[in-house]
Chain A
Amino acid sequence: MTAEPLSLLSQQGTYQPHESLALDPDSVDSQRLLRDMIMTRRVDTEAIALQRQGELGLWPSLLGQEAAQVGAAWALHPQDIVFPTYREHGVAWCRGVDPVNLLGLFRGTTMGGWDPTENNFNLYTLVIGAQTLHAVGYAMGIVRDGDVGTGDPERDRAVLVFLGDGALSEGETNEAFVWAAAQNLPVVFFCQNNQWAISAPYSVQSRVSVAQRAQGFGFEGVRVDGNDVLACLAATREAMASARSGNGPTLIEAFTYRRNPHTTSDDDGRYRSGAENDAWAALDPIERLKNYLKTSGTLDQAFLDGVAQEEEELAEKLRAGCRELPNPAPDQPFRNTYADMPKELESQMNEHLVFVEAGE
């Protein structure tokens, strides 16, 4: 018995409070939320265009997942830390990672792209599920540092780790759940159930909902409408607050849909229908929030114009920034393999540099 996902906003934009989702809508700057979702989508659209122009080798699109990501990210305190997959462009945006830096990995100029300590936003993880255990370990560190349950909002912190629905099948994810539960760790697992793991529908992974699975491990699972940014924000806020105060982990399922193929290399026409896509397009999360702002009379045209202007600037910055991303120097992999470069590696580096220079 899968529960209906909790929501606060109808598609038409009416706000309906829910007893399980504590949120005072007037305390939220929904116009700013809208801006972050629009900007996130623009990062995505520009990256896809850059991929089509041959500037990027690949791009994993998040189309349709803007509310889940922006809602979750808005629940963070600066001292909280995020462990993303490879698709969390909206979370990166909200955390202040320069979006140009998201492109390097997919352009082939870097295997990382940003300083993971700068915005408490770790590097993208490509091996499915691996980051869930890193989140658990980091949460153990937070406990040992005494940064949970002090009641000091500047001090208490928690971990927010993202995963896809497919990732629930990896052994490592299940180990992460076991550890988080057994040690009551300050970690929130945020699963964007976009219903597909490449060509595998959710039914290949599980017979019960994502949220239900948490029960078996002994912690709370919450199922929210992933296209409702306020619901995602409310659920994540509550789960993070609970984790920070020492009440342990939560698994949040944001039930949503990724309207683009898995990546720009994927051909989703082979395994899913256009009708399904259309149905979800009608539930677009950005339109939903706009409708809400219109209905509540708080959508300001000047604000929208400002965002449109910002979007153009962002697009320009992405296009120029992408082409200007520096190619790594040929000695870069050698210099960054160890803290102390072994002699043997140094001689391989020198051998390589002679070879590269001879070719130039």
Chain B
Amino acid sequence: MTTLPGTMPIAHALNAGLRAAMETDDKVMLIGEDIGQLGGVFRVTDGLQKGFGDLRVVDAPLGEAGIVGSAIGLAMAGYRPVCEIQFDGFVFPAMNQITTQLAKYRHRSDGRVSLPVVIRIPVGGGIGAIEHHSESPEAYFTHTAGLKVVMPSTPQEAYDMIREAIRSDDPTIFLEPKRSYWLKGQVNRASTPGPLDKAAVVRPGEDLTLVTYGALVPVALKVADVCAEEGRNIEVIDLRSLSPIDDATIIQSVERTGRLVVAHEASRTGGLGGEIASRVQDAAFHSLEAPVLRVTGYDTPYPASRLEEEWLPGLDRILDAVDRSFTY
């Protein structure tokens, strides 16, 4: 496979983004398990300790509460820590620090203290992994006021969004779709990152709006391709920011298309799909020609990997939902 100049996978784009942020601001530092010599289990921090030293790229003891709690203290001391949680399922020991401390400090200090902490977490399934390595924990975070929650889906977004997240004065949960780490794309390193809280219309269309994020964005684009062959023009929106949600982009789209399908890997109940459906029916009820449909993971624990292919929402399940929307 030939690689175009400026073309790289998401994992390398994140590495480049972290490097750029560290070069721009010497208060930026990284903390995580195995991020130094090993470069992280996904190699996202590869070479950064060599370049910036072990005071700026810190191999943490094996304790997630320690990683996030220390980052909070560092942020209070004027640093901008970027934490790496090794896998989605291992963020839970840090949940106390994230929900009761990190998310609330600005509020408690009457706006006097910012905690510019970024927590990077590889998320999602589809890589044939064992337990706790395929989870979609985003709703735990979006339900917590005070956190921003974002997820890129392309190398350019990864490169831009990680820099923007680090620049933000708000604590940001930065979710990385691990099944897309090796997905390649063009990266313009001279880009100026846009706002973190905007959704992107990644494929315009008039007949139905399909909203998703992370690893399902390429799947949604395939859905749109298949539909195009059948003469249906699907608009695909990459949410990018899961909290706050960019309602305006979604609502404008649904006002034109009249139909909405939301897809995510996370379990259905209490998931983001329900939130989006609710906002749309509130703001665009009269534009809707069909109920808002959700295609999601089921309300079970993430299954053993031999079952994940069918358990995860894929092309066929999303197409089914699109078809169903048109039956109304």
Contact = CB atoms under 8 A, between A and B. Distances in A.
Interface of A: 57-58, 104-111, 126-129, 166-172, 197-200, 204-205, 265-267, 270-271, 327-328, 330, 332-334, 336-337, 342, 344-345, 348-349, 352, 355-356, 359
27 contacts: A57-B128, A104-B304, A106-B130, A108-B130, A108-B304, A109-B304, A110-B304, A127-B90, A128-B62, A128-B90, A170-B64, A197-B33, A199-B59, A200-B34, A205-B61, A270-B37, A327-B307, A328-B304, A330-B307, A333-B303, A333-B307, A337-B299, A348-B268, A349-B298, A355-B310, A355-B316, A356-B310
A127 B269 contact: no
A57 B130 contact: yes
A198 B38 contact: yes
Cβ-closest 4 pairs across A and B: A108-B305, A166-B62, A169-B61, A199-B38
B62 A200 contact: yes
Interface string B295-308: 00011110111111
Given A330-B307, A345-B299, 12 more contacts: A58-B129, A106-B130, A108-B306, A109-B304, A167-B62, A169-B63, A197-B33, A199-B38, A200-B62, A270-B38, A327-B307, A355-B320
Given A108-B128, A200-B59, A355 B317 contact: yes
Nearest to B65: A171
Contacts of B308: 108
B30 to A, nearest CB: 15
Contacts of B274: none
A330 B33 CA distance: 35
Interface residues of B, number: 41
Contacts, number: 127
Most B CB contacts (10 A, CB to CB) among A126, A199, A355 go to: A199
Given A169-B66, A171-B93, A348 B299 contact: yes
B33 A198 contact: yes
Nearest to B64: A170
Given A111-B131, A126-B132, A170 B306 contact: no
Interface of B: 33-34, 36-39, 41, 59-66, 89-90, 92-93, 128-132, 268-269, 298-301, 303-308, 310-311, 316-317, 320
A328 B38 CA distance: 35
Contact of A199 (B34, B90, B130, B316): B34
B303 to A, nearest CB: 4
Nearest to B86: A198
B298 A330 contact: no
Of A167, A171, A266, most B-chain CB atoms within 10 Å? A171
A169 B62 contact: yes
B130 A58 contact: yes
Given A332-B307, A334-B300, A337-B299, A199 B62 contact: no
Given A108-B306, A127-B90, A333 B300 contact: yes
A334 B301 CA distance: 9
Given A58-B130, A200-B61, A330-B310, A348 B298 contact: yes
B60, B128, B131 — most chain A CB neighbours (10 Å) = B131
B148 to A, nearest CB: 26
Contacts of A126: 89, 130-132
B129 A57 contact: yes
A170 B310 CA distance: 35
B132 A127 contact: yes
A172 B66 CA distance: 11
Q: Which of B62, B128, B303 has the most CB of A within 10 A?
A: B62
B11 to A, nearest CB: 15
Nearest to A58: B130
A340 to B, nearest CB: 14
A280 B214 CA distance: 44
Contact of A105 (B128, B131, B311): B131
A170 B102 CA distance: 19
Nearest to A337: B300
Given A108-B304, A109-B306, A199 B298 contact: no
Contacts of A333: 298, 300-301, 303, 307, 311
B37 A271 contact: yes
A274 to B, nearest CB: 15
A144 B131 CA distance: 33
Q: Which of A166, A167, A198, A336 has the most CB of B within 10 A?
A: A198
Contact of B301 (A106, A266, A270, A337): A337
A333 B59 CA distance: 37
B62 A197 contact: yes
A333 B306 CA distance: 12
A172 B269 CA distance: 29
A244 B36 CA distance: 43
Contacts of B299: 337, 342, 344-345, 348
A345 B300 contact: yes
Given A126-B130, A169-B63, A204-B61, A57 B305 contact: yes
B273 to A, nearest CB: 13
Contacts of B128: 57, 108
A260 B95 CA distance: 33
A109 B89 CA distance: 19
Contacts of A271: 37-38
Contact of A359 (B131, B303, B316): B316
A9 B132 CA distance: 40
Contacts of A345: 298-300
A344 B308 CA distance: 20
A172 B93 contact: yes
Contacts of B39: 270
Contacts of B36: 199
Contacts of A267: 38
Contacts of A167: 62
Q: Give the residue among A127, A172, A342 with the most B Cβ atoms within 10 A.
A: A127
Contacts of A57: 128-130, 305
B301 A111 contact: yes
Contacts of B307: 327-328, 330, 332-333
A234 to B, nearest CB: 29
